[in-house]
A = this chain, B = another copy of it.
Amino acid sequence: MRLKVNIGNLEFKNPVFVASGTFGFGKEYSQYVDLNKLGAIMVKGLTLNPKEGNPPPRIYETPSGILNSVGLQNPGVDGFLKDELPFLKKFDTKIIVNIAGETIEEFVTMAQKLDIDGVHALELNVSCPNVKEGGMAFGVNPNSIYEITKRVKYVTDKTVIVKLTPNVADIKIYAKAAEDGGADAVSLINTITGMVVDINSKRPIFKNIFAGLSGPAVKPIALKHVYEAKKAVSIPVIGMGGISSAEDAIEFMIVGATAVAIGTYNFINPTCTMDILEGIKKYMNENNVSDINQIINSINV
């Protein structure tokens, strides 16, 4: 049974990834999951300088979902290279580094610093709804997406993935902008903007008013965006948003995802990635699929 998938110049041992920001830098989950068995780890979003993020509360449970407003707390690129990458290098899996510049120049600088052994791909986070500078402001503008992608591709030979926001009317335009800029793949969805109010204080629960919705609640929306994105581009798509089971993962692959990433559900069940991987194998067995690539983009419409 062949589980390998290709994105950019990389071959991944299987299509089950973990989504940025939900899996830290791998250390904590390594007590639950053999990291060698993951297709890839998309690490927590990095900024050029260390960032403290937003004041608490940063998370709120909603029906079948969560809102988060972490605001990219992270040790910065240098901190990552010094304190986190050495641990990750010990594992036989692909490391995708999620980077979020406040300016185009910051994206470029980070890409240059990350042009280093042990880093396999860059995921350009132009879709974080929880920061004031950069983030989603870039992601809702096709020109910014194009420009950032192009500038980053110019300075690195790493596989470059552009992470898209679902907070747009027509995802196709944004996926295309990334492809035109030279992206090797697009990944989606990042979180959906939402809010919640404390009816006693009459204040928004989150200091930033808005926060990002993720988890099973968003799956039907994410699936639609992935399907649409795939129709617009010929580069691979990495699908995510609410995946909690092998069935969910397979749905994303059928509509066009070359790989999938699991985010929020790691919190619910820390070994879910392994269950999902097993479930995919079972599905392939039962349906006589010898190569996972036969499933990708196999939708019948």
A221 interface neighbour in B194, B219, B287, Cβ under 8 Å: B194
Query: Please, what's the 1-or-0 string for A257-301, where 1 marks a CB less than 8 Å from any CB in chain B?
Result: 000000000000000000000000001000100000000001111
Cβ of A283 to closest chain B Cβ, rounded Å = 7
Please indicate the chain B residues that have their CB under 8 angstroms from the CB of A247 in the complex: 199
* Interface residue tally on A, bucketed by range: 35 or more
How far does the Cβ of A218 sit from chain B's closest Cβ, in whole Å?
8
Considering the chains assembled together, what is the distance between the CA atoms of A220 and B221 in angstroms?
A: 14
Residues 206-222 of A, flagged 1 when their CB comes within 8 A of B and 0 if not, give 00011101011111110
Contact A223 B195 (CB under 8 A): yes
- Oligomeric state, in copies: 2
Does A1 have its Cβ within 8 Å of any Cβ on chain B? no
**Once the chains are docked, how many angstroms separate the CA of A36 from the CA of B197?**
30
The verdict on A224 contacting chain B, using a C-beta distance below 8 Å, is yes
- Across the interface, do A64 and B67 meet the contact criterion of CB distance under 8 Å? no
A27 part of interface (Cβ distance < 8 Å): no
Q: Is the interface of A mostly helix, strand, loop or mixed?
A: mixed
Q: Say whether B254 contacts A197, CB under 8 Å.
A: yes
User: Once the chains bind, are B202 and A213 in contact (CB under 8 Å)?
Assistant: no
Query: Which residues of B sit under 8 angstroms from A202, Cβ to Cβ?
Result: 254, 298-300
Interchain CB contact under 8 A, B199 and A250: yes
Contacts of A167 in B (CB 8 A): 169
From 36 to 73 in chain A, residues with beta carbon under 8 angstroms from any chain B beta carbon are: 62-65, 67
Query: Judging by beta carbons under 8 Å apart, are A193 and B221 in contact?
Result: yes
Residue of A62, A193, A216 most packed against chain B (CB within 10 A) = A62
Interface 1/0 per residue, A221-263 and B, CB below 8 Å:
1011001000000000000001010010011001100000000
Is residue A79 contacting chain B, with contact meaning CB distance below 8 A? no
29 A-B residue pairs with CB within 8 Å? A62-B216, A62-B220, A63-B63, A63-B215, A63-B216, A63-B244, A65-B220, A67-B220, A140-B169, A169-B169, A194-B220, A194-B221, A194-B224, A195-B224, A197-B254, A199-B247, A199-B250, A199-B251, A199-B254, A202-B299, A202-B300, A203-B299, A204-B299, A204-B301, A209-B227, A209-B301, A213-B220, A213-B221, A217-B218
